Amino acid sequence: MTVPLYLASTSPARLALLRAAGVEPVLISPGVDEEAAVDVEAGRLGRPLTAAETVRHLARLKAEAVLDVTVDGRPLDGLVLGGDSAFEFDGEVHGKPHEPALALERWRRMAAVGHGTLWSGHWLIDHRGGAPRTSDEHPSGGAGRVASASLTFADDLDPRELTAYVETGEPLEVAGAFTIDGRASAFITHIEGTPSAVVGLSVPVLRSLVRGFGVPWHELWTSPTAGSL
């Protein structure tokens, strides 16, 4: 019997990754104000969050934000996954640039530095039966992991290329102002780490989390019939 996976994200890249891995999730928009959430957590800690802390915290918030959603009038009955990504270079953590001017300035800096680290946070909640399943190992019913991958950019990036790339709009709503499964793939020459983590979700990490709840990975494999919310 297939165990449903609910993805607290509307990212086309994460959806494509899961589909390629044989998993057809139900997409649910989490509606989390990421910048505000990071500011609140930083205020609670009294210091800025590290890149790993940022993506783990936001992944958890996103997963927890959708737990009360119903599908066809029924509560979620399966595994709930939240994910988040951030790009770190030159000692700073960057999320989505949103604005073309910011994306272009970021790319100019990344081209000059030449490398950085993409961080992907994952938070999985065992919601089988319609409520979080708690245990001594998972007192909240959830578990999280962070994956990272180091990237090297081409050393001959042309300012005209960067301007043209930003004008496509592709980098505006993705962490780090690039996506390796799109036009920016031509600008990245080397990856060290889990390749799927660069897209925003480490499939091996997800498999490990799933198995940690006693669910065999292949029980998530489905045919592409699930919908989205």
Q: Could you read off the pLDDT tens digit of each residue along the chain, which spans 229 residues?
A: 799 999 999 888 899 999 999 999 999 999 999 999 999 999 999 999 999 999 999 999 999 999 999 998 999 999 999 999 999 999 899 988 999 999 999 999 999 999 999 999 999 999 999 999 988 888 888 999 999 999 999 999 999 999 999 999 999 998 889 988 889 999 999 999 988 888 889 999 999 999 999 999 999 998 654 455 6
Distance CA 190, CA 188 (A): 6
Count how many domains the chain has.
1
Q: Is residue 84 annotated as part of the catalytic site, yes or no?
A: yes
CA angle 75, 141, 61 (to 5 degrees): 75
Give the per-residue pLDDT at 176: 85
Number of neighbours of residue 47 by Cβ within 10 angstroms: 9
For β-strands 78-89 and 74-75, DSSP reports them as: unpaired
Q: In one letter, which amino acid is 109?
A: R
Query: Looking at 33, 72, 77, 84, which residue is catalytic?
Result: 84
- pTM for the structure as a whole: 0.90
Give the residue numbers spanning the domain of 104. 5-220
Q: Is the Cβ–Cβ distance between 87 and 118 less than 8 Å? A: yes
CATH of the domain at 9: 3.90.950.10
Identify the pLDDT of residue 223: 60
Residue 59 lies in a domain: yes
Residue 83 in any domain: the answer is: yes
Q: What is the pLDDT of residue 226?
A: 45
Q: Which residue is it, tokens 């925003």? A: 200
Chain position carrying tokens 């997963």: 63
Q: Is residue 225 part of a domain?
A: no
Residue 10 confidence (pLDDT): 86
Residue 61 to residues 4, 66, 163, Cα–Cα distance (Å): 20, 9, 34
Q: Write down the pLDDT at residue 229.
A: 62
